[in-house]
Amino acid sequence: MTAEASPMTAEASPMTAEASPMTAEASPMTAEASPMTAEASTTAPASPGELILPSYQRPSGVHPPLDFSRYRSTALRHPKRPLVLLPHRLTEITGPLLGDDLITPTDADLTTQHGGEPQGQRIIVTGRVLDSDGRPVPDTLIEIWQTNAAGRYRHSREHHPAPLDPNFDGIGRCITDSAGRYRFVTIQPGAYPWGNHHNAWRPAHIHFSLFGRAFTQRLVTQMYFPGDPLLPLDPIFNSVPDEQARQRLIARFDIDLTQPEWALGYAWDIVLRGRGETVFG
């Protein structure tokens, strides 16, 4: 369930979850029961006085396999040995600690972070973070990263010869409110080539990272857009074995969220677990 080696993480792109300035390093989930974790299945052996950590099974049939032949780099990136449960010390169990002085409204509006307007179609992306029973999950840190309208990430390892936008960094964050709701204002991301196979292009998408009660409780996924002709051709999207689960990764265009003469609106809920859970990497 970590973000490290699954097709649903930031593929072989310069703005991977590891490289993004908006994210922290993924690690095994904590023992504390939280909506951000899967159901505990087994317990790691421990000597007297040692912290006992449960492990969490990766649900089968919904999430993509860690090694997916059509996504070539997973052959090198997926774990080849059993995961090792690391001890959770103070740093792992006491963060993130956030407040109004650290997360501001500007962080969630990617179109106002510079002195000028970014290029491209302005969009609003909003929804709720829910648990398996449809209950809202408040106070969840959500971070996003994406390409600009030309399909380019702002990163030193980016090789796509599309232009950079001086007024768009492509990173944002917010905290869900008491109803579990989040809201971002951003620019419609562009498609980009990624070299996985001949004439390979990633569909437009936004990467989402969610933190639970600690930095070790982190889930990563991607949100796609309706009607994208690249979706049937994309190995990462199609690494999700269940058709209904794939469709849950696609946002819904919402005319009621759309603001006249200003921005298109998209709705996308994130379900942490259960029958209708969102696909995570």
User: Can you tell me the distance from the alpha carbon of 257 to that of 70, in angstroms, rounded to the nearest whole number?
Assistant: 36
Q: How far apart are the first and last CA of the chain?
A: 6
What's phi and psi for 202, nearest 5 deg? -80, 135
From 71, 182, 192, 266, the catalytic residue: 192
From 202, 218, 248, 273, the catalytic residue: 202
**Three-state secondary-structure class, residue 10:** coil
Is 5 exposed, middle or buried, given 0-12, 13-18 or 19+ CB atoms closer than 10 A? middle
Check if 207 is active-site.
Answer: yes
| Beta-sheet strands, E only, within the chain | 40-43, 54-56, 122-130, 141-145, 171-175, 181-187, 192-193, 201-202, 205-211, 218-224, 252-253, 264-267, 270-271
Check if 56 is active-site.
Answer: no
CB atoms within 10 A of CB 164: 14
Check if 198 is active-site.
Answer: no
List the one residue out of 251, 277, 226, 270 whose CA is nearest residue 124: 251
Count of alpha carbons within 13 angstroms of residue 30, beta-carbon side: 21
From 63, 88, 205, 218, the catalytic residue: 205
Check if 218 is active-site.
Answer: no
Query: Residue with structure tokens 């982190």?
Result: 218
User: Can you tell me the distance from the alpha carbon of 1 to that of 27, in angstroms, rounded to the nearest whole number?
Assistant: 9
From 71, 153, 182, 224, the catalytic residue: 153
Check if 192 is active-site.
Answer: yes
CB atoms within 10 A of CB 14: 16
From 128, 152, 154, 207, the catalytic residue: 207
Catalytic residues: 153, 192, 202, 205, 207
